[in-house]
Structure 1
Amino acid sequence: MVKQHGWYPYEFQSGTTVAVAGDDYVVVASDTRLTENYSIQSRTHSNVYKMHNNSLLLSTGFLGDVLTLKKTLDGRIKTYEYTHNKPISTPALAQMISIMMYGRRFFPYYTSTVITGLNTDGKGCVYGFDPVGSMTEQLYACSGSAMPLILPILDANILGKNTSKPGQVKRTKEETVKMIKDIYMAACERSVELGDAVVVHTLTKEKGIETDVHPLRKD
C-alpha cells in the first residue's frame, strides 16, 4: 500500500477578534489565548497591533504569517511617510495591505486580517480582506476561532438580522464596549480556544487609543 506524505506549512493558532465602527469611534477587541492543537501556548497574547497612524491591525491564523505581515507593513508605512511627508490614512493603509496580499496570491499569508481606524472625516472605518487581498469596507468584522459563534450575535445586535426590528442599530461608544464584553463572556462558555481575557481598544479622535482588559474564564 502506497502512503503519500504531504507538506503543510501552516498551523492555525486560534485567537478571536472583533471590530465595530461608529460615527466617531472604533471599538476593537481580541482575546488573549493562543492555542495550538488544544494546547495553550500563551495566555497574554493579543491579536491587535497598533500601527504608526493610530490604525489598528487585527490578524489571526498562523502566527508566523501574522508577524511577517506586520513587519512588512511597518517597513512599507515608513517608506510611504518618508516619500509623501505625511502620515498614512487608514483607507490608504487598507489599500496598501490589499496590494501586499495580492502580491502573495500564489503563496498567501495564512491569516484573517482586518484594519480599523478613523478616516479623514473622523468617522470609524473597518476594512476586511480575503487571503488574496480583496477588500471590503464594513460596519463590523469578526475573525478567528470563535467567529461562527460571535458573528450571528453581531448581525442581530448591529443590523437587527433575525429579529423583530431589522435595520441598523445606532450605539454609543460605551454601549458598544459593553456589548462586545458581553459577547466574549458568552462565547468563551462555548469555545475552548477563547479565554483568559479580552483586551478592548477604543479609538477616538479626541483621546486616541484607550485600552481596557476584562477577565474571561481560565480553563
Structure 2
Amino acid sequence: MTKQHANWSPYDNNGGSVVAIAGADYCVIAADTRMSTGYSILTRGYSKISKLADKAFMASSGFQADVKALQKHLTAKHLIYQHQHNKQMSCPAMAQLLSNTLYYKRFFPYYAFNVLGGLDTEGKGCVFTYDAVGSYERVGYSAQGSGSTLIMPFLDNQLKSPSPLLLPAVDAVTPLSEGEAIDLVKTVFASATERDIYTGDRLEIYVLNAHGTHHEYMELRKD
C-alpha cells in the first residue's frame, strides 16, 4: 500500500494530524507525535497538544516555531486573566481569545492550524475549529493537519454532524458515547497512518469529562 506525500509547505516541520470530538459530557482531543520536514522525521515523540486551561486543550499542526509562539502567547494571556478574575477561562472564552489572537496577526499569520477542545460552562463537550487567520466555528468534531483530508470524510460518514444552517439550530455534540468516540479516533488515525507520510509513530489522546482529564497513548505505524 503506497503512501501519499501531501501538498504540504516545505517550511512545515510539524505535519501530521489532530482530531477533536465533542460529546454530551466529554471531549476527546488526539494527535500523532511525529514531527517531520519533507521526507525526514525529526522526532517521533513530539506532542501537538497543549493544555491552555483545565477545561481547554489546543491541538495544533503547522510550523512548529509558530505553534510554540502561539501557545506561549495564549498561556501568558490566560495567566493575566486568572490574576484579574481569580478564575480560569472557560473553553468558549479561550476559543474567542484564540480567534482574536490569530486575527490580530492576520497580515503575517501564524502558520498554525488549530483545533480547540474542552468542556463549556454547562459541562458539555465543545470543539472549535480554526483557519490560519482566526475564523472559527463550534462543531461536533474536527480535524486539522496533513491527514485531515483523509480523516474528515471518515468522520463525516460516521458522525453526520447537523448543518449549522438548520433552523432551529441543532446541538453540535456527537451522539457517540465516550468509549465509542475514543475507539473512532483510534480507527481514523490507524487509517490515516497508512496513507499520510506525516502521520504516524504514536497517538496521544486526552479525554476531558466531569471527573477530570484522562491521558493515554496508542502505537501507530513507524514507517
Normalised by the length of structure 1, the TM-score is 0.89
Secondary structure of the equivalent of 2:180? helix
- Counterpart of 1:182, as a letter, is T
Q: CA deviation at 1:11?
A: 2.7
**Alpha-carbon distance in 1 for matches of 2:42, 2:188:** 24
| Distance in 2, Cα, partners of 1:192 & 1:59 | 17
Structure 2 residue aligned with 1:113: 114
**Paired residue for 1:197, among 193, 202, 211?**
202
Contact 1:10 1:110 (8 Å CA) reproduced: no
* 1:56, distance to aligned residue in structure 2 (A): 0.6
How many angstroms apart in 1 are the aligned matches of 2:12 and 2:221? Answer: 24
Residues 13 and 35 in structure 2, CA contact (< 8 A), matched pair in contact too? no
Cα distance between partner residues in 1 of 2:21 and 2:71: 21
> How far is 1:129 from its partner?
1.5
Residues 43-192 of structure 1 aligned to structure 2 (within 5 Å)? 43-159=44-160, 170-192=175-197
Letter in 2 for 1:175: E
Partner of 2:3: none
How many Å separate the matches in 1 of 2:86 and 2:47?
A: 31
Shift of 1:215: 0.6
2:220 matched residue in structure 1: 216
Q: What code does the residue aligned with 1:199 have?
A: E
Aligned residues: 205
Aligned AA (1:109): Y
Q: Which has the higher contact order (CA 8 A, sep 6+)?
A: 2
The alpha-carbon deviation at position 12 of structure 1 amounts to: 4.7
**RMSD after superposition:** 1.8
Secondary structure in 1 matching 2:88? coil
Shift, 1:171, TM fit: 1.0
The question of whether the paired residues in 2 share the 8 Å contact of 1:73 and 1:97 is answered with: yes
Gap regions ≥5 residues in structure 2: 1-8, 163-172
User: Runs in 1 of length 4+ with deviation above 6 angstroms?
Assistant: none
Q: 2: CA distance between counterparts of 1:205 and 1:55? A: 13
Percent of aligned pairs sharing the same letter: 39
Matched position secondary structure for 2:50: strand
TM-score (norm 2): 0.87
